[in-house]
Amino acid sequence: MGSVVGWIPLSSAVDWAPPNVDLKSDVAHSARVYDYILGGKDNFPADRAAAGEFTRSLPNLPTSMRANRNFMVRSARVLAAKHGIRQFLDIGTGLPTAPNLHEVVQQVAPESRVVYVDNDPIVLVHARALLTSAPEGRTAYLDADFTDPGAILESEQLRDTFDLRRPVALSLIAIVHFIPDDGVVQTVIDQLMAPLPPGSMLALTTTTADFTPDEVNAGVAAYRANGIPLTARDRGTVEGFFKGLDLLDPGVVLAHRWHPDEEAAALSDRQVYMYSGVARKP
């Protein structure tokens, strides 16, 4: 079961790499590899070495990661502006990266509330940067594991932040590809969506080898050799994760093809390794 921490008071947030947190800095972590490739500085030599290996197999990984992040921004804006969503449960948050989800949705509706969840101690250490809500809204951070939905749903952070009579958007951006078992992913999604009212949404991105099988299969092997169980999935499997929900137009597509802005529209299908989709609970 994932550990569940209480609210992190702003004054107690600690500086980079505190001695009391075991960051396992000698092995690569997905959050820190992602941070490094996106230009962040919260990473260690092991993460940078692994990122070098991954980009040798996946030459468009930096572009693909930016396209994934850009999808998060576009889809969150649509959820807030067009669907009136004011509550967001973001699991697999990653290290703070501007703009963070709450900054995107609070630009549309300052009263929006976001509960961030990650299981990596490095993200916990930096959670202060996620607790910068507009005064009209609220953000909370929970240290928990995706595969323990009960701990997430029963957490004080979620209960104190959300009104579960109102729709919630479950945001699973670049996380389920770290869970190799399709059945586990499906069960957890079902359990997380079950208590949410009609009108709630699911936004998801995950790695695929459908367009660039040689690159992605080599990349998956490189991630796994570094202890990160990356898993690529085909379109049918990803569509299956939305079962019982109504997929919004245009369905499950590569991340840059979901209502592209100018930057996304300039990308080709060989440059993006991520499927994306957004669906509504009827």
What residues line the site for ligand SAM (CB under 6 A)?
A: 30-31, 34, 68-69, 72, 91-94, 118-120, 123, 145-147, 173-175, 178
Nearer to ligand SAM, 61 or 85 (CB): 61
Nearer to ligand SAM, 175 or 248 (CB): 175
Nearer to ligand SAM, 72 or 168 (CB): 72
The full 3-state SS of 206-251, as one line of letters, equals EECCCCCHHHHHHHHHHHHHCCCCCCCCCHHHHHHCCCCCEECCCC
Q: Shortest Cβ distance from residue 195 to ligand SAM (Å)?
A: 19
Q: Shortest Cβ distance from residue 110 to ligand SAM (Å)?
A: 22
Decide: 102 and 112 in contact? Cβ < 8 Å: yes
Q: Shortest Cβ distance from residue 173 to ligand SAM (Å)?
A: 4
Q: Shortest Cβ distance from residue 172 to ligand SAM (Å)?
A: 8
Nearer to ligand SAM, 54 or 242 (CB): 54
Nearer to ligand SAM, 93 or 200 (CB): 93
User: How many other CB atoms are there within 10 angstroms of residue 277's CB atom?
Assistant: 25
Q: What is the rounded distance in angstroms from the CA atom of residue 62 to the CA atom of residue 118? A: 22
Q: What is the rounded distance in angstroms from the CA atom of residue 12 to the CA atom of residue 127? A: 11
Q: Report the residue number whose CB is nearest to ligand SAM.
A: 94
Q: In a 10 Å sphere around its CB, with 0-12 CB exposed, 13-18 middle and 19+ buried, how is residue 109 labelled?
A: middle
> Closest Cα to residue 175, out of 213, 144, 135?
144
Nearer to ligand SAM, 96 or 167 (CB): 96
Q: Shortest Cβ distance from residue 91 to ligand SAM (Å)?
A: 6
Q: Shortest Cβ distance from residue 237 to ligand SAM (Å)?
A: 18
**Separation in Å, CA 164 to CA 86, 115, 198, 234:** 11, 13, 11, 33
**Separation in Å, CA 3 to CA 111, 121, 146, 151, 238:** 28, 11, 11, 8, 28
Nearer to ligand SAM, 245 or 255 (CB): 255
In the structure encoding, which two tokens stand for residue 100, read together?
């963070």
Q: Shortest Cβ distance from residue 174 to ligand SAM (Å)?
A: 4
Between CA 174 and CA 180, with CA 177 as vertex, the angle to 5 degrees is: 160
